[in-house]
Chain A
Amino acid sequence: MPDRPLRAGRRAGGALAGLALLALAAASLLVGVGDLTGAEVLAASRIPRTLALILAGAGMAVAGVIMQLVAQNRFVEPSTAGTAESATLGMLLVTLLAPGAPVVVKMLAATACALAGTALFLRVLRAIPLRARLTVPLVGIMLGGVVGAASTFIAYRTDMLQFLATWQAGDVSTVLRGRYELLWLAAVLTLLAYGLADRLTIAGLGRDAAVNLGLDYRRVVALALAIVSTITAVTIATVGTIPFLGLVVPNLVALAAGDNLRRTLPLVAASGAGLLLLCDVLGRLVRYPFEIPVGTVMGVVGSGLFLTLLLRGDARRA
């Protein structure tokens, strides 16, 4: 039971985060070239785009924090664990083998590949005797590089490089009504993760502590991986890869409020949605009336934030 001022502070922080999110969502609805007098632009494009940003942002941030707890490493997220690259490979393969398949089938194939890739990552990690802090994401990035190279090779041979690019670079400018609804699955999985919050946090204390507390550790890890892989696959299938979000948001939230997911998961989701909205609005304004894809903006903003975090973190430890 946290004491009163702490709880009040948290509540105020939550309210503030909620307000910021609303303001960003409103901005996202209002910014753009199209004329808003017709409700059609709003209903067909702006609202779907804003919802897609909120759902993808929240989902990727939640996927990131789950990854970090399961791998017990602060530098891991779907794009530094081979998950995103594997999902992309899955999209490519299913598009080649069954071009006419409905998007749900494609998403399932991407999820299966993402699961396999992430499981491989964790298996490789287990085989490394010394799990130094930075070795873990390096292993993931290397694994992702290998998988990504395979995708590029296949896409090059089959003349699919352009398709590949749409999954690799996050972009919401083409999101329209009827083409983003799959992302609601990410919201469902975020809720599911909230239901598992205690178990995921305990898993983050390490296998021994989790087993000691009577947790079925392997099952929790398997569930966590399924959630992470599906959120990643859905996001890639609808808006493409969003780098850094799953890395930066959980680290910022952990710094401010810790890792007890029962308390912090809503904040992680809201911050993820807010940051992605902010990046997209920025991308729409910087070269108005032209757009910079949200994935690109996120890459710049995210890497800047991440560098700051890294440097600050080292100063704190010293």
Chain B
Amino acid sequence: MTRPMIEVQDLVRRYGDTAVVDGVSLRLPERAFVSVIGANGAGKSSLLSMVARLLPASAGRALVAGLDVAATPGDVLARRLGILRQDNGVAARVTIRDLVAFGRYPHSRGRLGPADHAAIADALRFLDLEPLADRFLDEVSGGQRQRAFIAMVLAQDTDCILLDEPLNNLDMRHAAAMMALLRRAVDERGRTIVAVLHDVNFASCYSDLIVAMRDGKVVAVGPPDEIVTPAVLREVYGIDVEVVTVRGYRTVFFYR
């Protein structure tokens, strides 16, 4: 592993006596698609939030591109790291184009230059949002809104992007398109993407690395071949699953 894009050292988040993240250490490489899987309440979102300095850590520290997130000024970090949380029930009524333009704020400070306009247009095109660009966020579907927020994070043009359940609100077709697109952002643009995913099959088909969590701890880290196995998934989710290899991808059958 070359220089890690994200390095997490003994990270802990406590609420009272319960630790939702309980001593997590990780080194995630750059230019990789990393999925974080685990049951509800395993601490995935809290881990992501701490790495993105949205949530202060109770102990331990997180480094992004070598910068300690707790000690780096917010505007400096905003040019290296972008995060999208899962609930985006926004009260402000802005157009999709304006929202994506706000992604440029860390670079432009509100004065959009040619490079900013190019990045905005590029992000809108990348997410196929051009026809919708002048619609307000409350006038589009949940899936379209989700894509608009992803476009904002892409326009932010950070090396590292954290996504908390990016497939929320997306149907099969749009979920697959989103994963393909995120994969392209890694392959073609050299981004590092860390995404919390509930769908193990998507994680298996698109990830370079899967982080499996349970009860605030990392149970296993590895490529899909090592993680998507009946043994590991039983440890993570506590259920018995059947793993079938389809076209070279390990997929999980657990529906009945």
* B92–A212 touching, CB < 8 Å: no
Chain B residues positioned under 8 Å from A73 (CB to CB): 91
* B54–A205 touching, CB < 8 Å: no
Complex formed: what's the CA distance from A6 to B83 in Å?
31
Interface centre among B79, B84, B98 (most CB of A within 10 A): B98
Instruction: List which B111-127 residues lie within 8 A (CB) of chain A.
Output: 112, 117
Chain B residues positioned under 8 Å from A199 (CB to CB): 110
Chain B residues positioned under 8 Å from A69 (CB to CB): 91-92
Chain A residues positioned under 8 Å from B156 (CB to CB): 212-213
Complex formed: what's the CA distance from A255 to B76 in Å?
35
In the complex, residue of chain B having the shortest beta-carbon distance to the beta carbon of A256: B93
Chain B residues positioned under 8 Å from A205 (CB to CB): 90, 92, 94, 99, 102
Chain A residues positioned under 8 Å from B136 (CB to CB): 258
B105 within 8 A of A: yes
A34 within 8 A of B: no
Chain B residues positioned under 8 Å from A216 (CB to CB): 74
B97 within 8 A of A: yes
Instruction: List which A28-81 residues lie within 8 A (CB) of chain B.
Output: 68-69, 72-74
Binary contact track A1-16/B, C-beta < 8 Å → 1, others 0: 1110010000000000
* A214–B91 touching, CB < 8 Å: no
B78 within 8 A of A: yes
Complex formed: what's the CA distance from A255 to B93 in Å?
8
Known contacts A69-B92, A206-B90; A214 and B54 CB within 8 A of each other: no
Chain B residues positioned under 8 Å from A74 (CB to CB): 91
Complex formed: what's the CA distance from A259 to B153 in Å?
20
User: Per a CB cutoff under 8 Å, which of B76, B90, B117 touches A214?
Assistant: B76
* B94–A212 touching, CB < 8 Å: no
Complex formed: what's the CA distance from A82 to B91 in Å?
21
Least Cβ distance of B208 to chain A in Å? 24
User: Per a CB cutoff under 8 Å, which of B82, B84, B91, B110 touches A204?
Assistant: B91
* A214–B83 touching, CB < 8 Å: no
Known contacts A214-B77, A254-B93, A258-B95; A208 and B102 CB within 8 A of each other: no
* A213–B134 touching, CB < 8 Å: no
* B92–A214 touching, CB < 8 Å: no
Complex formed: what's the CA distance from A69 to B106 in Å?
20
Binary contact track B21-52/A, C-beta < 8 Å → 1, others 0: 00000000000000000000000000000001
* A214–B94 touching, CB < 8 Å: no
Complex formed: what's the CA distance from A206 to B76 in Å?
20
* B92–A259 touching, CB < 8 Å: yes
A159 within 8 A of B: no
* A212–B82 touching, CB < 8 Å: yes
Interface centre among A1, A2, A72, A208 (most CB of B within 10 A): A208
Q: Interface size of B by Cβ–Cβ distance < 8 Å?
A: 35
A95 within 8 A of B: no
A179 within 8 A of B: no
In the complex, residue of chain B having the shortest beta-carbon distance to the beta carbon of A253: B93
Least Cβ distance of A251 to chain B in Å? 10
Known contacts A254-B93, A259-B93; A3 and B77 CB within 8 A of each other: no
In the complex, residue of chain B having the shortest beta-carbon distance to the beta carbon of A258: B93
Instruction: List which B52-75 residues lie within 8 A (CB) of chain A.
Output: 52-54, 73-75
In the complex, residue of chain A having the shortest beta-carbon distance to the beta carbon of B49: A208
Least Cβ distance of A150 to chain B in Å? 31
Of the four ranges (under 10, 10 to 19, 20 to 34, 35 or more), the interface on chain A belongs to: 20 to 34
* B90–A211 touching, CB < 8 Å: no
Chain B residues positioned under 8 Å from A214 (CB to CB): 73-79, 105-106
Complex formed: what's the CA distance from A205 to B88 in Å?
8
Least Cβ distance of B244 to chain A in Å? 38
Least Cβ distance of A156 to chain B in Å? 39
Complex formed: what's the CA distance from A166 to B102 in Å?
44
In the complex, residue of chain A having the shortest beta-carbon distance to the beta carbon of B91: A72
Complex formed: what's the CA distance from A187 to B90 in Å?
29
Complex formed: what's the CA distance from A258 to B94 in Å?
5
* A215–B74 touching, CB < 8 Å: yes
Interface centre among B75, B77, B110 (most CB of A within 10 A): B110
In the complex, residue of chain A having the shortest beta-carbon distance to the beta carbon of B137: A258
* A208–B85 touching, CB < 8 Å: yes
In the complex, residue of chain A having the shortest beta-carbon distance to the beta carbon of B117: A1
Chain A residues positioned under 8 Å from B94 (CB to CB): 201, 205, 258-260
Least Cβ distance of A265 to chain B in Å? 13
B103 within 8 A of A: yes
Chain A residues positioned under 8 Å from B83 (CB to CB): 208, 212
A residues in contact (CB < 8 Å) with B: 1-3, 6, 68-69, 72-74, 198-199, 201-202, 204-209, 211-216, 254-255, 258-260, 262
Given contacts A212-B52, A214-B77, could you give 13 more A-B pairs where the C-beta distance is less than 8 Å? A1-B97, A72-B90, A72-B91, A198-B110, A204-B91, A205-B94, A206-B90, A211-B74, A212-B82, A213-B156, A214-B106, A255-B93, A262-B110
Q: Nearest 9 A-B pairs (CB), nearest first?
A: A214-B78, A204-B92, A214-B75, A198-B110, A72-B91, A259-B92, A259-B93, A214-B106, A213-B105
Name 26 interchain pairs, CB-CB below 8 A, sorted by A: A199-B110, A201-B94, A205-B90, A205-B94, A207-B54, A208-B83, A208-B85, A209-B88, A211-B74, A212-B153, A213-B102, A213-B103, A214-B74, A214-B75, A214-B77, A214-B78, A214-B79, A214-B105, A214-B106, A215-B74, A215-B75, A215-B105, A258-B95, A259-B92, A259-B94, A260-B95
